[in-house]
């Protein structure tokens, strides 16, 4: 759409205000949280690295504690291509020469990344540039993979132990921890490790909030090659059982399923090549790649005072349209214990209240709202089921609802038309005094 110049400025300003406000709950939530970023070497060799590094520095200045695991296969390829014809990326066996290549490649990857993270992003003034200290060290204890199916895997190893305390100490001193895919054994031998495995072991050991894979794809793909925006553990296992994903995607799904079962809250797969993808994934409702969580992202919980603002925002347009009764913040503060909210990620997408009339063994379902951008996903039905369960737990016998516009919705869900006399006497008085002439529906529990 083309806006006249003045309007464009207005549009951009408003867009900025909207986006900034939308980001604020995420910024607040992630302050002080630990994020493990596994960065593919494809990203490290690309010209997009500087932009990603600037965004990483931004995360640290917003109070996030970061551990970065870097890949090195592209650097190995570059060196091997120049010196010999060894392609180590697909070869799980690491001989002495290959181990030397891994060490060289890791060194180059690491120094390049350190250098890029030491740059002052162009949008930041020199005197206010974030001064991030990068910590490295022997955080990983490794052991050899040994002989598998009669084949000696040489210096290919696996993680034996992560020194979580040492990583924690660096993070507590506001340092960014950078880990290479190489570990050392108790005898002082170095072993080549898989980036995924290191990321998984580190994220679990330090109980990271998030493990984020930054690669070449926008996220995980479904059968139609569309990006999957969200998955929970059940869906991950279903996807794995269907055996439709390629090797890389299968590995990511397996890693995600495992870490989510071991205390990591979220796993994300995001493009490291698309400018701003990481910020979009972390700070917008829509995200940019695939986000995975143990349980479904949506939950219904009791409302708290902190939800009042969002509930009032849901009510406001319906109140203006005469669909719902006006409710102000004082009313909400006094009745918040009667409300439940449907929350997805950090946002409230719906609410419902149960007013109880104990003398009459009855309850009223009120203020059932689903945000317009989340309708027809079954959320209304879930909120109704939630209230029915609450009412049954309180051993109420009747649930009624009053509505001016949504009668059919209730009837299709087991309610029948009722008369004024069927309402509890106290509610009858209110009904007569507010003159809204709402239709009355009731359902036996």
Ligand X SMILES: CC(C)(COP(=O)(O)OP(=O)(O)OC[C@H]1O[C@@H](n2cnc3c(N)ncnc32)[C@H](O)[C@@H]1OP(=O)(O)O)[C@@H](O)C(=O)NCCC(=O)NCCS
Positions that interact with ligand X (CB under 6 A): 318, 323, 366-370, 375-381, 403, 405-406, 408-409
What sections of 353-395 are H helices per DSSP?
Answer: 379-393
Radius of gyration of the chain measured on its C-alpha atoms:
28
Which stretches does DSSP call E strand in 164-245?
Answer: 175-179, 182-184, 190-192, 210-215, 230-232
How many of the other CB atoms lie within 10 Å of CB of 122? 8
Q: CB of residue 414 vs ligand X: minimum separation in angstroms?
A: 13
Q: CB of residue 227 vs ligand X: minimum separation in angstroms?
A: 24
Q: Which is nearer to ligand X, 78 or 374 (CB)?
A: 374
Q: Look at the block and give the residue holding tokens 């870490």.
A: 259
Strand partners, 347: 344
Contact residues for 257 (Cβ-Cβ < 8 A; gap 6+): 233, 236, 237, 240
Q: Which is nearer to ligand X, 191 or 349 (CB)?
A: 349
Q: CB of residue 323 vs ligand X: minimum separation in angstroms?
A: 5
Q: CB of residue 418 vs ligand X: minimum separation in angstroms?
A: 15
The tokens for 290 are 């695939």
348 closest CA partner among 366, 374, 323: 374
Q: Which is nearer to ligand X, 191 or 441 (CB)?
A: 441
Long-range contacts of 255-258 (CB under 8 A, 24+ apart): 255/196, 255/197, 255/199, 255/200, 255/211, 256/211, 256/231, 256/292, 257/233, 258/200, 258/204
Q: Which is nearer to ligand X, 125 or 376 (CB)?
A: 376
Q: For 395, how many CA atoms within 13 A lie in the half-sphere containing its CB?
A: 2
Contact 364, 440 (CB under 8 A): no
Q: Which is nearer to ligand X, 46 or 406 (CB)?
A: 406
Q: Which is nearer to ligand X, 137 or 378 (CB)?
A: 378
Q: Which is nearer to ligand X, 93 or 323 (CB)?
A: 323
Q: For 109, how many CA atoms within 13 A lie in the half-sphere containing its CB?
A: 32
Q: CB of residue 65 vs ligand X: minimum separation in angstroms?
A: 37
Q: CB of residue 151 vs ligand X: minimum separation in angstroms?
A: 55
| Closest CB to ligand X: residue number | 380
Q: Give, to the nearest 10 degrees, the angle between helix 96-117 and helix 49-61.
A: 60
Q: CB of residue 231 vs ligand X: minimum separation in angstroms?
A: 21
The tokens for 428 are 């009858």
Q: Which is nearer to ligand X, 153 or 366 (CB)?
A: 366
- Please tell me the distance from the alpha carbon of residue 151 to that of residue 146, in angstroms, as a whole number: 8
Q: CB of residue 322 vs ligand X: minimum separation in angstroms?
A: 11
Contact 307, 315 (CB under 8 A): no
Q: Which is nearer to ligand X, 55 or 307 (CB)?
A: 307
Q: CB of residue 431 vs ligand X: minimum separation in angstroms?
A: 14
Contact residues for 377 (Cβ-Cβ < 8 A; gap 6+): none
Q: CB of residue 311 vs ligand X: minimum separation in angstroms?
A: 12
What sections of 303-360 are H helices per DSSP?
Answer: 308-320, 329-335
Q: Which is nearer to ligand X, 166 or 374 (CB)?
A: 374
């Amino acid at each position: 759409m083309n806006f006249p110049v003045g309007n464009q400025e207005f549009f951009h300003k408003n867009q900025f205000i909207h986006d900034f406000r939308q980001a604020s709950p995420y910024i607040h939530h992630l302050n002080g949280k630990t994020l493990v970023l596994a960065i593919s070497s494809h990203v490290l060799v690309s010209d997009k690295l500087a932009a990603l590094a600037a965004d990483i520095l931004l995360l640290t200045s917003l109070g996030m504690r970061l551990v970065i695991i870097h890949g090195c296969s592209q650097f190995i390829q570059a060196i091997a291509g120049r010196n010999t014809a060894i392609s180590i990326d697909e070869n799980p066996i690491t001989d002495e020469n290959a181990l030397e290549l891994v060490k060289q490649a890791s060194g180059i990857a690491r120094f390049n990344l350190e250098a890029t993270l030491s740059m002052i992003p162009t949008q930041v003034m020199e005197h206010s540039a974030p001064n991030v200290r990068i910590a490295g060290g022997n955080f990983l204890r490794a052991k050899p993979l040994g002989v598998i199916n009669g084949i000696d895997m040489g210096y290919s190893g696996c993680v034996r132990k992560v020194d979580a305390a040492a990583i924690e100490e660096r993070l507590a001193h506001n340092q960014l921890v950078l880990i290479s895919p190489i570990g050392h054994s108790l005898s002082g031998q170095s072993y080549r490790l898989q980036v995924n495995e290191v990321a998984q072991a580190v994220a679990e050991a330090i109980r990271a909030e998030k493990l984020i894979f930054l690669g070449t794809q926008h996220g995980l793909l479904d059968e139609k090659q569309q990006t999957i925006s969200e998955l929970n553990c059940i869906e991950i296992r279903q996807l794995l059982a269907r055996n439709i994903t390629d090797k890389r995607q299968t590995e990511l799904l397996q890693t995600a399923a495992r870490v989510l079962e071991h205390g990591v809250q979220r796993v994300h797969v995001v493009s490291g090549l698309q400018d701003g993808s990481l910020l979009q994934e972390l700070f917008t409702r829509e995200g940019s790649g695939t986000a995975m969580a143990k349980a479904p992202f949506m939950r219904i919980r009791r409302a708290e005072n902190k939800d009042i603002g969002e509930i009032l925002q849901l009510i406001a347009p319906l109140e203006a349209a005469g669909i719902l009764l006006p409710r102000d913040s004082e009313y909400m503060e006094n009745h918040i214990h009667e409300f439940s909210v449907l929350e997805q990620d950090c946002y409230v997408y719906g609410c419902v209240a149960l007013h109880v009339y104990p003398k009459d063994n009855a309850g009223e379902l009120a203020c059932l709202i689903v945000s317009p951008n989340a309708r027809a996903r079954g959320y209304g039905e879930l909120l109704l089921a939630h209230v029915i369960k609450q009412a049954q737990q309180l051993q109420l016998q009747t649930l009624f609802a009053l509505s001016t516009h949504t009668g059919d919705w209730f009837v299709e869900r087991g309610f029948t038309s009722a008369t004024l006399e069927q309402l509890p006497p106290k509610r009858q008085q209110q009904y007569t005094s507010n003159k809204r002439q709402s239709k009355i529906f009731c359902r036996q529990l």
